[in-house]
Amino acid sequence: MRKQKNSYHHGNLAESLLQAVDEIATKFGLEAVTLRACAKLVGVSPSSAFRHYSDKKALMTAFATRALDELNASLEASNAEAAARADDTFTAVGLAYIEFALKKPAFFRAMWREEGLYTSDEAYQAAAQRLSTRLKSGFADALVDDDPTRLSPQELLVWSSVHGLANLLVEGPVGREQTLDEQLQQANAMLAVLKPAISAHA
């Protein structure tokens, strides 16, 4: 594994360590992530890393918090862009969710792996709440929603479908030999089948 010495600016080591988590987890899986491995990749001593994160669980909690916020921002942006173009927001948001997982598999895998996180961490809880609120709001405002405080059956069906396909694509049982574009085409086809079922019960 190549060291990246001097790859961070003073005061930005915490951010560099999160980037190292992404690199290691993407290549070797979440189980391969340790504070020492991240410190080595960044090019600092383990003691420097421990000054920012007390242990691996703290590091992974910060990483999962980042993942939740980035997915939330991606869903928000896709909805706004589709609405501005008068495009289909339902499809745009669903594809954004799946594309996020495909492009950032380590983030996708880490978000809800609660056994490896400090789930009582305030920043993590706030990020999870922000994403939950967006998903309960008509699946990022892509569906008609009468009660933004809970997941309706329609919202739950959409979330289960897009998250399930994203997981199948990321873990490999589906689309193993496909390019990213081909995987997204497959996702688009699934959403095209799903949309009428949702609309019929809206």
Q: What is the pLDDT of residues 44-57, one digit of tens each?
A: 999 999 999 999 99
Amino acid, res. 116:
G
As for how many domains the chain has, the answer is 2
Query: Both 7 and 36 in a single domain?
Result: yes
For residue range 96-136, list pLDDT tens digits in order. 999 999 999 999 999 989 999 999 999 999 999 999 999 99
Q: Where does a domain end: 33, 53, 73?
A: 53
Provide the residue range defining the domain that includes 80. Answer: 56-200
| Nearest residue to 113 (alpha-carbon basis) of 63, 168, 170, 55 | 63
**Mean pLDDT split into 10-residue runs, the chain, 202 residues:** 45 90 96 95 93 95 97 95 91 96 97 94 97 90 86 91 96 92 97 85 54
Query: Both 131 and 62 in a single domain?
Result: yes
Largest CA distance in the chain: 58
Total-model pTM: 0.89
Query: Both 91 and 46 in a single domain?
Result: no
Query: What Cα–Cα distance (Å) separates residue 131 from each residue in 39, 41, 78, 110, 111?
Result: 30, 31, 14, 15, 11
